[in-house]
Structure 1
Amino acid sequence: MNLHLVISHSCASSLLNCAIMLKLAMKIEFIHEKETLALENFARLPMLCTFCRKKPVPHIQLKSLAPFGSQQRVVSREKTEDLEVQDEEEEFPFSDVPRPGKRWERKPYPTPMKVLIQRVKEEKRKRQENPCRVLEHPPENGLLVPELVEVAHQVYNAREMLLHGLSKLVNGDSAIPVKRCQFCSEVHIGHLDHQIRSCEGPKCGSRSSTHVWRRGGIRDVVGFPYCYHLYDRVGKPRVVHKERCGVPRLQAIVELCIQAGVDLENYPTKRRTKPVYSIEGRIVDFEQEAEEDSAAKTSVKPVSSSIEVISKLNTFEEDMDMGELGSRTLKSWLDMRSGAVKLMKTYSVITCGYCPEVQVGPKGHKVRMCKAARHQFRDGLHAWQEATIDDLIRPNYVWHVRDPNGPPLYNELKRYYGKAPAIVEFCVQAGAPVPIEYRSMMRLDVVPPARDEYDLVA
């Protein structure tokens, strides 16, 4: 019995080494979910391999521990899911209604102030290096950008089609009612008035912020701010206070099209064939008047009048139902906005930082007509800054009505309702499909609870 119980020292050491190897193997299997194993766990492998007469393993990847192809399929599936999510986010970006700023706060700058300061310093440096120089790049030199002339005509025609389609939908036989609050700028589209208490007009406290509705029109659906017309945007880019009554005003989107290449009889403008000079920061023009008159007749093709455009549209609207008319009107609005964005990248449009005044041109006018916050410190002058597309074409957001024939919008459920620009909501109720970029804003994926269940929802 004692002989069987006696174990040599070499056998005991071999059994101990085997136990250590089994323990390490169990540790490896326990942490197989990690991608790689640290080398500290294998510091003792060379000593163990003297017993088993095998070479040490310097590094083990845990992918080999899983069944063949299973982990690779999991990784590939995760990558494809991430790519699909990224594609959906790029194709359908989330956008919400921008929060209105406070009246005493200035609008945010589209371009950072540091970038604007660098541009001014660069212009000053060029002016000091070459005081007398010819401006090369249009439209700063008085010439038109040839690539944007056709875009300007498309924007102008899209505006005419938009206004014509809205006139048919607002004043037609099966017109969609447009309502506006009597005391504030709230607009609602639909047969039933909404019950959301958001009025901020005079004496709104006595009415518990309830709106008082009246009939609206086309101006409530889409808003075009007005600006002063510039005959020479390079030679005389500003309108002073004394000239405020003698200079005509027109819609800013029309003025942008005129400066980009559209010719209108009622609003003449100066066209050049030679670039202007900049002498110590002042614009000097050496072109003769006879050459300017001939250039104005030959450089830009005349745009078709609104009467001709409307007559062409009437011929196509005879067999068109309300849904097709709404789709075409909405497409005109989207085309006008996209074209205006292209024009604004080259032709400067500026707005006041405190009020909705807009001016198309390299500089703002000096008419003392600002009545917004801190206008006393500016002597009524505007605080000009770079404008955005929403300053040029005001969207005027309204509440989205999912079912025009259903119940009205309740104040208790306003957190579940979405919003959209008035023209989008108007055309969608007419039968047009919802644009992709406004689906998240209208909250089409949110299911509002019943009126008696809103307090039970977290």
Structure 2
Amino acid sequence: MQGILRPLRALFARQLVAWAEPPPPPVGARTRWLHVGGGGREPEEDEVVPYADVPRPGRRWERKPYVTPMKVLIRRAKEERQARRENPCRVLEHPPDNGLLVPHLVVVARRVHAARERLLDGLTRLVEGEDAIPVKRCRFCPEVHVGRVGHEIRTCEGRDSGARNSLHVWRPGTVRDVVGFPYCYHLFDRVGKPRVVHKEKYDVPRLPAILELCIQAGVDVERYPAKRRTRPVYSIEGRIADFEPDEAGNSEPGALPEPPACSPLPSPAAPTSICSASPDASNEQKEEEVTVPELASRTLQSWIDMRSGAARLMKKYSVHTCGYCPEVQVGPKGHKVRMCRATKHQQRDGQHAWQEATVDDLVWPSYVWHVADPGDGSPLANELKRYYGKAPAVVELCVQAGAPVPAAYQSMMRLDVVPPARDEYDLVA
């Protein structure tokens, strides 16, 4: 009898403990955002944007982290190989792999293209206009600072940095120092000829990668023509076969038309002239009187729209980057030009180690130190650098010009931290 009552007593005791425990606390906004996920939507009023800090730069000899885990990539390759064995000749159904455009992304590509034009125009007026915000650039390293006085934080790794105690040597900066667009090769036919070989190094034009992404997604630029198909292509044992007749009447299967000659490339010193606005639009903008805070707010919104739209396009249109250098290529495959000079390039014969790219690889954010009080005039001290925040140079420039701080960058800029004075930093625990 005692053996039967013992399990019942233990069960009854557990039930009493469960009744005595208080109910679990409600899930807060921050916890709900982190667990449920808030990607691709704006946070509501009662929700808190999760904490975000500046990503730490990797070491020069280390490879960039993979966006997709290697096990997932291996599994996808095995599935594609198995599908190719089961059906050697098949029609590719899903765009853009079959050569067709994704219909709902054409509008997104046009918005990204227009946002880039507005961004470059706004940055030019903010940096080189009458009420310009000073931009500084180190003479020996890529460090950028937004403000009237360069900071004194010892982070220089350029030439003779040891003799200067790692202090920067500042010079005036330009729009190219605020935002950077890496260049890539233009693909006339992203499906028929997706790869540029080394012999075509000087024959194929180069253009900003984000502009190439917009062109492949449906934006028509007269200077860089692209082939638009109306029928899907075939995949025969892994090779693309095009049975659509071209404009010249050539209907031979697998025959690819010659790409038309592109207009001369602009000089590398002025990459912003590629997507410059028309004269009529520029005259209208000059006639329209806009205050500096309004211009900064519009420029910052263009920056956010361009990055969010590019992230949507990159989910369908492949963008590759080198795992060791900043080279980027928009298309199904990376190019074969032997121009890599990064770590272990001798083992690869100068070829790039291609992998999936991110938005930061397509549009360089160029993080700078945040200046809480631009009118103070005193430079940022090296002893107080742990109290300072950072932000992309575009965001810092627009915030100093009068634009409100976006919610996504508030924690990164450390707006809730009050740095001590120079004579008080050693008294802080």
TM-score (norm 2): 0.85
Deviation (angstroms), 1:170: 0.7
- For the pair 1:189 / 2:135, whether they are aligned, the reply is no
2:229 is aligned to: 272
Per the alignment, do residues 292 and 311 of structure 1 end up closer, same or farther by CA in structure 2, a change over 3 Å counting? farther
The aligned counterpart of 1:383 is 353
Given candidates 74, 78, 85, the residue that maps to 1:128 is: 85
**What count of residue pairs does the alignment treat as equivalent?**
385
Q: Describe the SS at the equivalent of 2:171.
A: strand
Structure 1 position 363, deviation (Å): 0.4
Higher mean C-alpha deviation, range 310-319 or range 165-174: 310-319
What one-letter code is carried by the residue in structure 2 that aligns with 1:450? A
Aligned to 2:264: none
Where does residue 119 of structure 1 map in the other structure?
Answer: 76
Aligned equivalent of 1:434: 405
Distance in 2 between residues matched to 1:195 and 1:225, nearest whole Å:
29
Q: Runs of 5+ in structure 2 lacking a partner?
A: 1-7, 35-46, 251-274
1:171-250 matches, within 5 Å, as 171-250=128-207
Amino acid at match of 2:382: N
With over 3 angstroms needed to count, the CA separation of the structure-2 counterparts of 1:164 and 1:258, relative to structure 1, is same
The amino acid of 1:447's aligned partner reads V
The alignment partner of 1:451 has SS state of coil
Structure 2 match to 1:397: 367
The answer on whether the counterparts of 1:273 and 1:292 sit within 8 Å (CA) in structure 2 is no
Q: Is 1:86 aligned with 2:59?
A: no
Larger Rg: 1
Whole-angstrom distance in 1 between the partners of 2:129 and 2:402: 15
Alignment CA distance shift 1:171-1:104 (3 Å): same
Paired residue for 1:167, among 124, 148, 166?
A: 124
Task: Please give the residue correspondences for 1:343-422 in structure 2 after superposition, counting only pairs within 5 Å.
Answer: 343-406=313-376, 407-422=378-393
Match of 2:66 among 99, 105, 109: 109
CA distance in 2 between counterparts of 1:341 and 1:313 reads: 32
Compared with structure 1, are the counterparts of its residues 136 and 42 closer, same or farther at alpha carbon in structure 2 (3 Å cutoff)? closer
For residues 140 and 453 of structure 1, the distance between their equivalents in structure 2, rounded to whole angstroms, comes to 61
Give the CA deviation at 1:121.
Answer: 0.5
Structure-2 separation of matches of 1:145 and 1:40: 63
RMSD (Å), alpha carbons:
2.4
Give the letter aligned to residue 183 of structure 1.
Answer: F
Letter in structure 1 aligned against 2:401: A
Structure 2 counterparts to residues 25-174 of structure 1, below 5 A: 39=9, 79-80=25-26, 82-86=27-31, 91-174=48-131
Structure whose residues are more often helix by fraction: 1
Paired AA for residue 31 in structure 2: Q
SS at match of 2:386: helix
Which amino acid letter does the alignment assign opposite residue 256 of structure 1?
Answer: L
Structure 1 position 317, deviation (Å): 6.6
3-state SS of 2:329 partner: strand
1:457 aligns with 2:428: yes
SS in 2 for 1:191: coil
Runs of 4+ residues over 2 Å off in structure 1: 38-43, 58-64, 82-91, 290-293, 305-310, 312-319
Give SS of 2:424's match.
helix
Distance in 1 between residues matched to 2:385 and 2:177, nearest whole Å: 22
Structure 1 counterpart of 2:220, from 249, 259, 263: 263
Return closer, same or farther for 1:317/1:413 CA change in 2, 3 Å cut-off.
farther
Question: Which secondary structure state, in structure 2, belongs to the residue aligned with residue 290 of structure 1?
Answer: coil
The alpha carbon displacement at 1:447 in A equals 1.2
Q: Could you tell me whether the CA contact under 8 Å between 1:326 and 1:430 is conserved in 2?
A: yes
Amino acid aligned to 1:79: P
Change (3 A) 1:59 1:83: closer
The 3 A distance-change label for structure 1 pair 283 and 88 is closer
Give the aligned partner of residue 425 of structure 1: 396
Q: Which amino acid aligns with 1:122?
A: E
Task: Give the deviation of 1:291 after TM superposition.
Answer: 8.6
SS at match of 2:73: helix
For 1:324 and 1:316, the matched residues in 2 are separated by 14
Equivalent runs, 1:240-319 vs 2, <5 Å: 240-290=197-247, 306-308=276-278, 311=281, 314-315=284-285, 318-319=288-289
1:341 aligned partner: 311
Deviation at 1:408, TM superposition (A): 1.5
Matched residue type, 2:159: P
List alignment gaps of at least 5 residues for structure 1.
Answer: 1-37, 44-57, 65-70, 294-304
Q: TM-score, normalised by structure 1?
A: 0.80
Change (3 A) 1:156 1:313: farther
Q: Could you tell me which amino acid in structure 1 is paired with residue 92 of structure 2?
A: L
Alignment check: 8 A CA contact 2:370 2:396 kept:
yes
Deviation at 1:86, TM superposition (A): 2.8
The secondary structure found in structure 2 opposite 1:91 is coil
Question: Percent of aligned positions with the same letter in both sequences?
Answer: 67
In structure 1, what is the Cα distance between the partners aligned to 2:12 and 2:405?
62
